[in-house]
């Protein structure tokens, strides 16, 4: 219950005092009906007034937010609520954008900083409710202003952000969005300058650069300030000559980008690809990507677009249409972050409606009609994850691609835009660039992490949503369509009180010599996850989500005939809810079983399962279980699987780095499990 006290809390204090000291004629405490039901009394907060839509702890005090402020229409203590809000907002230098007058409420749309929003309930004590306004992507408004030569708003300082290298068609100078965040430009196309060709495809690099640096610009332009997550380096990889050995050209491009940025901690984006004629086989290009991402064992972040489905105009073809073409080269690379497409864009823009475009094909949350599918089978899960790739509206013999409301808004190439600064992008090339932006966001928020950890954190946020489960009831088809699923970069970058994220950066030697004349043993690394007993037992039967991700890089071989492609493979498993630690160790370790210990009863009901998730170098799985099933410490094991390192003396005793990420999500249960976990110390045990 929310009590409005515009004149102060004197009346409430008086009623509570009378309840404790006075009685009615019937012998009941005075004000019994009101006071006896009160358990606690506290000043209201943003969290309470928004019914949980807004969490004060998630607000950046300096960032601007759009918020609906719901106010009573009648004066409160002789003061007009709406006038009071106007005064408060104007004093802070913020603004009210619009007001809707309903029957018993005035609803004001205000742009305020996070700090102002947190203070608002105390400054305007008669605020009835606070809500996040419905946001229509204002692409139409932004494009209109762009066409009119509207000058861009301030671009936030990007000097301390991550670096993304765009290996694409290049871009020229003249777009202030890109000029402000471009470190350098170069070309590895023989005889061609860094600028793109005049062909329409030459605009591609500038569009990908905008998405990698800013993400979708539509909402940012309306907020009044643009926030880049990355600085960019342009390396022209694709030009007029397509007769290239792409493996060598990509190696040269990555070396060039890191020299230009004076850093090896670069996120490399390849929103390009070529048809995979064998559909289920690697190429020298993908092998090169694996070697570059292996990076001598240190790892390197390389993001690759999965590739697009063949165009179609029959609406009935979707979603099976995405299975008509396998992912492109080099997207099959084990060590790449291969990105497929989903879409949240299912509303036509004004321009689309003017042209009488049909209804959008995909519903929000479904697979993008543009994306192609992974090969499936015994190969690694590809794509790894899925990001926004846009939507289509086919009909009347046309595909309906690139529509205003169904595309992402990004930067334009000055050579191709006729003076405009903005352009539209779609398909898996756009999804890959958005993923590079997400990785930059994680790196900015958590500096100093290994590349394997950064990609592990992003993948750990992936989930097969209810919408995707309904669209693809078959797990096999779901994995081929979207990999581990759409990601959430905020959940990837940060813990919260009811969703702690743990990570461990480790190293293991797949084989360890035990002395002269003795065979080498295999090392298993056990990591103790300190899940709190009391808190999880308190919500005993509530369902919670457990997610675990293993991220590492394989050393590839360039022999297509060799059976073992990676030098060493790793797997992970977790002690089950009914399993003792000794039983778990016996289940995963033959040496323990030989000591007479009975193997345990098994792990959790994982969605993907051990066999399928273990096929690649990025292994993610999730399960939904009662909270009590996670109560208490659990041991997670990382252990090696045979690879070609086993057959070469010079590599038998190599070590391999890995990163493990685990998270528990309590959903709408507002309990703090972060604190008890954070005070625990993670222990590592070797067997």
Tell me how many degrees the CA angle 101-107-110 measures, rounded to the nearest 5: 130
**d(C-alpha 426, C-alpha 336), whole Å:** 21
Structure-token pair, residue 374:
């992974």
Going across the sheet that includes 105-113, the strands are 95-101, 105-113, 64-72, 129-131
Reported as a pLDDT band with limits 50, 70 and 90, residue 9 is low
CATH architecture of 46-131: 2-Layer Sandwich (3.30)
> What percent of the chain stands above pLDDT 70?
91
Task: Sheet with 684-686: list strands edge to edge.
Answer: 569-574, 634-641, 525-529, 684-686
Q: CATH topology of 46-131 equal to that of 155-491?
A: no
Closest CA to 205 of 410, 419, 441, 443: 410
Closest by alpha carbon to 550, among 522, 573, 576, 529? 573
Q: 233 has which bridge partners? A: 165, 184
Where do runs of H (alpha helix) occur along 504-564? 533-538
**Rg of the chain over CA atoms, in angstroms?**
28
Locus of tokens 């719901």: 70
**Calpha distance 194→536 (Å, rounded):** 57
User: Which tokens sit at 339?
Assistant: 């990105």
Picking from 373, 374, 409, the residue whose alpha carbon sits closest to that of residue 390 is 409
Q: Name the CATH superfamily housing domain 155-491.
A: Peptidase S8/S53 domain (3.40.50.200)
* Model pLDDT, residue 20: 73
Burial class of residue 271 in the structure, from the number of CB atoms within 10 Å of its CB (0-12 exposed, 13-18 middle, 19+ buried) = buried
Per-residue pLDDT reduced to its tens digit, 271-314: 999 887 665 577 889 999 999 999 999 999 999 999 999 999 89
Q: Which residue has the higher pLDDT, 483 or 586?
A: 483
Q: Where are the alpha helices (DSSP H) in 164-306?
A: 176-179, 204-214, 217-223, 246-260, 284-294
Q: Rounded CA gap, 212 and 269, in Å?
A: 8
Query: What residues does 386 pair with on adjacent strands?
Result: 340, 486
Percentages helix, strand, coil for the chain (3-state, rounded to 5) are 30, 25, 45
Q: Identify the weakest region by mean pLDDT among 91-105, 434-448, 576-590, 603-617.
A: 91-105
Please give the share of the chain, as a percent, with pLDDT higher than 90: 55
Q: Is the pLDDT confidence value at 42 over 60?
A: yes
Residues 6+ apart with CB under 8 A from 342: 365, 366, 367, 368, 371, 386, 387, 388, 389, 431, 468, 482, 486
Domain boundaries, the chain: 1-41, 46-131, 155-491, 497-686
Specify the DSSP element, H or E, that contains 70.
strand 64-72
Question: What is each CA distance from 516 to 150, 170, 520, in whole angstroms?
Answer: 76, 57, 10
> What H or E segment, with its residue span, contains residue 501?
strand 501-508
Assigned token pair, 248: 């060598």
Torsion (CA) 472, 475, 477, 483 in degrees, nearest 10? 100
Instruction: Provide CB contacts within 8 A for 75, sequence distance 6+.
Output: 81
pLDDT 10s digits, 114-161: 889 999 998 988 899 998 876 555 677 777 777 877 767 788 888 889
Tell me which range, 74-78, 185-189, 394-398, is most confidently predicted by mean pLDDT. 185-189
């Amino acid at each position: 219950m929310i009590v409005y006290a515009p004149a102060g809390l004197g009346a409430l204090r008086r009623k509570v005092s009378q309840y404790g000291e006075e009685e009615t004629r019937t012998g009941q405490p005075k004000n019994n009906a009101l006071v006896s039901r009160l358990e606690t009394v506290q000043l209201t907060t943003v969290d309470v007034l928004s019914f949980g839509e807004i969490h004060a702890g998630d607000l950046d005090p300096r960032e601007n937010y759009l918020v609906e402020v719901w106010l009573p229409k009648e004066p409160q203590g002789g003061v007009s609520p709406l006038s009071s809000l106007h005064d408060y907002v104007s004093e802070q230098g913020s603004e009210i954008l619009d007001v809707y007058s309903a029957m018993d409420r005035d609803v004001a749309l205000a742009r305020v900083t996070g700090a102002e929003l947190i203070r608002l309930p105390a400054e305007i004590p008669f605020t009835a409710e606070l809500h996040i306004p419905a946001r229509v992507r204002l692409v139409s408004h932004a494009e209109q202003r762009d066409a009119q030569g509207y000058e861009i708003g301030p671009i936030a300082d990007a000097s301390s952000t991550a670096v993304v290298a765009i290996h694409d068609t290049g871009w020229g100078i003249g777009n202030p969005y890109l000029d402000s965040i471009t470190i350098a430009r170069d070309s590895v196309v023989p005889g061609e300058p860094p600028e793109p060709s005049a062909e329409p495809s030459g605009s591609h690099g500038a569009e990908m650069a905008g998405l990698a640096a800013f993400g979708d610009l539509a909402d940012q332009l309306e907020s009044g300030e643009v926030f880049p997550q990355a600085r960019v380096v342009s390396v022209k990889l694709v030009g007029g000559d397509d007769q290239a050995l792409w493996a060598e050209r990509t190696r040269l491009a990555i070396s060039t980008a890191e020299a230009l940025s004076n850093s090896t901690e670069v996120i490399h984006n390849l929103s390009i690809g070529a048809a995979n004629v064998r559909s289920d086989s690697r190429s020298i290009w993908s092998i090169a990507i694996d070697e570059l991402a292996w990076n001598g064992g240190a790892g390197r972040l390389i993001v690759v677009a999965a590739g697009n489905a063949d165009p179609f105009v029959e609406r009935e073809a979707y979603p099976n249409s995405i299975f008509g073409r396998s992912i492109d080269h080099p997207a099959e690379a084990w060590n790449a972050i291969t990105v497929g497409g989903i879409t949240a864009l299912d509303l036509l823009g004004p321009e689309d409606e003017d042209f009488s475009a049909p209804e959008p094909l995909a519903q929000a949350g479904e697979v993008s009609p543009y994306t192609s599918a992974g090969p499936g089978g015994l190969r690694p899960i590809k794509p790894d994850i899925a990001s926004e790739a846009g939507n289509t509206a086919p009909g009347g013999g046309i595909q309906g691609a690139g529509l205003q409301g169904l595309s992402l808004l990004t930067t334009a190439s000055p050579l191709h835009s006729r003076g405009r600064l903005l352009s539209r992008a779609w398909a898996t090339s756009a999804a890959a660039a958005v993923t590079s932006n997400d990785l930059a966001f994680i790196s900015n928020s958590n500096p100093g992490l290994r590349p394997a950890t950064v990609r592990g954190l992003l993948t750990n946020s992936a989930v097969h949503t209810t919408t995707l489960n309904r669209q693809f009831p078959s797990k096999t088809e779901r994995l081929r369509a979207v990999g581990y699923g759409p990601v959430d970069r905020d959940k990837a970058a940060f813990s919260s009180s009811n969703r702690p994220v743990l990570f461990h950066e480790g190293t293991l030697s797949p084989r360890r010599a035990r002395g002269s004349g003795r065979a080498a043993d295999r090392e298993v690394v056990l990591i103790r996850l300190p899940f709190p007993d009391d808190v999880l037992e308190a919500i005993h039967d509530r369902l919670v989500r457990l997610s675990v991700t293993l991220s590492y890089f394989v050393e590839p071989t360039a022999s297509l005939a060799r059976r073992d492609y990676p030098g060493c493979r790793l797997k992970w498993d977790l002690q089950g809810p009914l399993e003792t630690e000794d039983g778990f160790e016996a289940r995963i370790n033959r040496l323990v079983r030989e000591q007479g210990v009975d193997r345990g009863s098994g792990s959790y009901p994982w969605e993907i399962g051990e066999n399928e998730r273990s096929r690649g170098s990025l292994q993610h799985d999730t399960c939904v279980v009662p909270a009590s099933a996670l109560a208490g410490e659990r041991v997670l094991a990382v252990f090696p699987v045979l690879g070609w390192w086993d057959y070469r003396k010079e590599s038998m005793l190599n070590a391999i780095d890995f990163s493990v990420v685990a998270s528990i999500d309590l959903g709408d249960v507002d309990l703090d499990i972060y604190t008890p976990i954070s005070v625990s110390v993670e222990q590592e045990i070797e067997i």
